[in-house]
């Protein structure tokens, strides 16, 4: 029986490529996005590549939306094997106005999606993950969330406060969740996909060295346990990332 995987924010970019990688590894993949039409279209594209994919609307900041997805998974599959928390934003790039440090609205939007949304997903999906033998949770983080790398960076380095704080918080979630789940066999890993050519920010498409497919590789590897990544760790394609 094929494993069942959910990837949040998977209609394009790293999320789509992660869904493709999981599907080609034999998983039934649930593709999600804020637009149901986009999610269904992405699932159709994956199907053309030989992937068993289903498209679902999902707003990770809405407990009702998250619970509807959990209910649909329970009805259709009865369990969940892999949860990839990929949905993320850096609202500072389109903040509604100037600020001295970071616009409050950018903070709210970023933290709601990147942190609170992950809490919602974990809480709703854990009952389904517990039904399998080896559940996995992969939190797509960033090297920009590493406190060590932040403190070592040159003062002239790019600073995106709300985004960086949200990814540091996500890494903390990985640690605490791994401890809570240590006795029941569900592993939790933070993964840095690297600097990837996506539409995530105004600079990614032009300056990033990695394609979306390359960025998805360590995410898929962590989800399928084909890399050495202990539960509660933070890894990238190059190995362990410092907290």
Q: What is the pLDDT of residues 23-63, one digit of tens each?
A: 999 999 999 999 999 999 999 999 999 999 999 999 999 99
**181 is written with which tokens?**
């789940």
Hey, what domains does the chain have and what are their CATH numbers?
A: 58-240 (3.40.50.720)
Please give the pLDDT value at position 178. 98
Q: Are 32 and 7 in contact (CB under 8 A)?
A: yes
Q: By percentage, how much of the chain surpasses pLDDT 90?
A: 84
Active-site residue, from 16, 163, 195, 200: 163
63: helix, strand or coil: helix
Residue 101 annotated as catalytic: no
For the four alpha carbons of 30, 35, 40 and 44, in that order, the dihedral sign comes to negative
What angle (nearest 5°) sits at the alpha carbon of residue 201, between those of residues 214 and 69? 70
The CA distances from residue 181 to 16, 66, 115, 116, 231, in Å, are 28, 21, 19, 19, 9
pLDDT band at 196 (very low <50, low <70, confident <90, very high): confident
15: helix, strand or coil: helix
Cα–Cα distance measured from residue 10 to residue 16, given in angstroms and rounded to the nearest whole number: 4
pTM of the predicted model as reported, rounded to 2 decimal places: 0.96
Q: Are 145 and 194 in contact (CB under 8 A)?
A: no
Please give the pLDDT value at position 208. 63
The neighbour count for residue 118, using CB atoms within 10 Å, is 26
């Amino acid at each position: 029986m094929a494993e069942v995987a959910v990837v949040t924010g998977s209609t394009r970019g790293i999320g789509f490529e992660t869904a493709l990688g999981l599907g080609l590894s034999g998983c039934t993949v649930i593709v999600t996005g804020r637009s149901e039409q986009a999610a269904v279209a992405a699932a159709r594209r994956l199907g053309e590549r030989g992937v068993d994919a289903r498209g679902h609307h999902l707003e990770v900041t809405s407990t009702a939306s998250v619970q509807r997805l959990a209910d649909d998974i329970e009805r259709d599959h009865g369990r969940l094997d892999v949860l990839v928390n990929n949905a993320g934003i850096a609202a500072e790039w389109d903040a509604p106005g100037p600020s001295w440090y970071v616009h409050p609205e950018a903070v709210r939007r970023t933290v709601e999606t990147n942190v609170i949304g992950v809490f919602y997903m974990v809480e709703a999906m854990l009952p389904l993950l517990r039904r399998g033998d080896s559940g996995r949770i992969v939190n797509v983080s960033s090297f920009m969330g590493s406190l060590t790398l932040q403190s070592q960076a040159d003062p002239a380095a790019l600073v995106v406060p709300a985004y960086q704080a949200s990814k540091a918080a996500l890494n903390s979630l990985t640690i605490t969740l791994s401890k809570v789940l240590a006795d029941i066999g569900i592993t939790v890993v933070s993964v840095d996909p690297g600097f990837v050519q996506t539409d995530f920010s105004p600079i990614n498409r032009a300056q990033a060295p990695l394609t979306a497919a390359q960025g998805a590789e360590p995410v898929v590897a962590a989800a399928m346990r084909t890399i050495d990544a202990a539960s509660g760790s933070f890894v990238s394609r190059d190995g362990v990332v410092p907290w």
